[in-house]
Amino acid sequence: MTVTILSFLTAFIFILNVLLAAALVFLERRDASSTWAWLLVLFFIPIFGFFIYLFLGRRLRKKTLFKWEGTKRVGIESLIAHQMNELHDENFEFIDPDTKDYADLIYLHLRNNGALLTEDNSIQIFNDGRKKFDALLEDIEKATNHIHVQYYIFRLDELGTRIVDALTAKAKEGVRVRLLYDDMGSRSLRKRHFKELIAAGGEVETFFPSILPIINPRLNYRNHRKIVVIDGQIGYLGGFNVGNEYIGLSRKFGYWRDTHLRIEGSALNPLQTRFIRDWNQASTRHDIAHDEFFFPIKPAKGNTSMQIVSSGPDEDWEQIKDGYVKLINSAKEYIYVQTPYFIPDATFYDAIRIAALSGIDVRIMIPNKPDHPFVYWATYSYVGQMLRAGARIFTYENGFLHTKMIVTDNKASTVGTANIDVRSFKLNFEVNAFIYDQKVSTDLAELFHQDMKLSTELTYEMYLHRTSWIKTKESIARLLAPIL
């Protein structure tokens, strides 16, 4: 009897794997690398592989997730068409003449993502969590109309409680407060944890919540964006989430090195639009209708040119990755990259490898410690290949490096939420600022140089002498890289 049951289960699992493999190949139409990676998982770990696929492998069905008719009312479509026509005909009058060098990248983002170019912005760079959150709390205190807050991870620890208390106080004053968090990134949170904020008039929504208690089977397609917009006049965008570890209070990670931007200027309009679209997707009964006070007239705060670019699995193209590749291809002198995960797809890898082989000064900085072991060892294998191409690799030793930044030639740069991996390129909802400004890019490059002093340079000779155990972990992680 027992043998019969085992035989039946074995046959059932085998048939299930065959059917699932057939679906991967013929129905899902994934790229070849991810298809082979999933086939390896299914056939080498047939029982657990099926459940891993249920949690990680299912694709997001194509549908319009983010609808907001207010975008038409504020004239975004006509502005996009106007900028594209002016760039195409080479009639666009740039305030900063150096920005013209990136006209093709700007056109790409306009056509690929509807990302308007704004040229009147002021940017403050934060590379320390305490300073960033002190500034954010000060801006929250000064809010008079509305506060929109969105984070992938929001913990109700010391830092999170400070922020929620500040939001609750403003809600009691009559300021419209909205808080959006991702259900997987903030999996310990429930709306009931914000009862005081809600009682004060604040609104809280969850992105892609699970229908199951505690467990969310949708590990992919998470909203990885970190956005704050205050009164339509001040915005925040970057890598810091909300939690004690982001202000250096984690014993595991120590100091947390990240990069975040405080933005004033017309770039707040597309950032506001991005928040509203995400909010309305998640909202159960509190959709945001178009209102002019979300988009107040803004006095010029500076002369920094930038585009707010978003990407996600609901799109046909990988907009942020395309921008990364175009930015790399435009470099003539140097490319500095900081990322916690360096697991590029073939397109990104070829672009930066060719740049290094062409004699461009390519420097890549990664953490010296893993927060996800498989991801770390896949990263290590790729940077080893980049060493062969002539790139310089640095491991950050002063805590954990979480920055997502690329800067080129002291002229153009990008900072945001997108890592250099397939998850950020294809599976998660991300947002980045692409910046065309000499001062901002020079400041970011200077921060990179400061971080180099706190890093160890990994040479090719050092890489060749890694242990057999490390080589084994690299090989396994590399095979799984397309689905990490």
- Residues designated catalytic: 224, 226, 231, 402, 404, 409
- H or E segment and range at residue 272: helix 268-282
- Our measurement of the distance from residue 419's CA atom to the centroid of its chain's CA atoms, rounded to an integer in Å, reads 6
- Our measurement of the distance from residue 237's CA atom to the centroid of its chain's CA atoms, rounded to an integer in Å, reads 10
Closest C-alpha to 52, from 219, 179, 280, 207: 219
Q: What is d(CA 434, CA 306) in angstroms, rounded to the nearest whole number? A: 5
Q: Per the structure block, which two tokens stand in for 38?
A: 């999933």
Q: What is d(CA 259, CA 254) in angstroms, rounded to the nearest whole number? A: 16
The DSSP 8-state label assigned to residue 330 in this structure reads: H
Q: C-alpha dihedral over 187, 478, 460, 373, to 10 degrees? A: 30
DSSP string for residues in 99-137: GGGGHHHHHHHHHHH----EEEEEEEEEEEHHHHHHHHH
Q: What is d(CA 153, CA 189) in angstroms, rounded to the nearest whole number? A: 10
**3-class secondary structure, 282:** helix
275: CB partners within 8 A, 6+ apart: 148, 150, 180, 227, 229
Q: What is d(CA 420, CA 422) in angstroms, rounded to the nearest whole number? A: 7
Return phi, psi of residue 68, to 5°: -160, 105
Q: Per the structure block, which two tokens stand in for 270?
A: 């597309």
Give whole-number Cα distances, 477 to 163, 235, 240, 282, 378, in Å. Answer: 38, 38, 27, 34, 5
Count the Cβ atoms, other than its own, within 10 Å of residue 263.
Answer: 28
Q: What is d(CA 328, CA 294) in angstroms, rounded to the nearest whole number? A: 35
3: CB partners within 8 A, 6+ apart: none
Q: What is d(CA 465, CA 471) in angstroms, rounded to the nearest whole number? A: 10
Q: What is d(CA 94, CA 420) in angstroms, rounded to the nearest whole number? A: 30
Return phi, psi of residue 140, to 5°: -60, -45
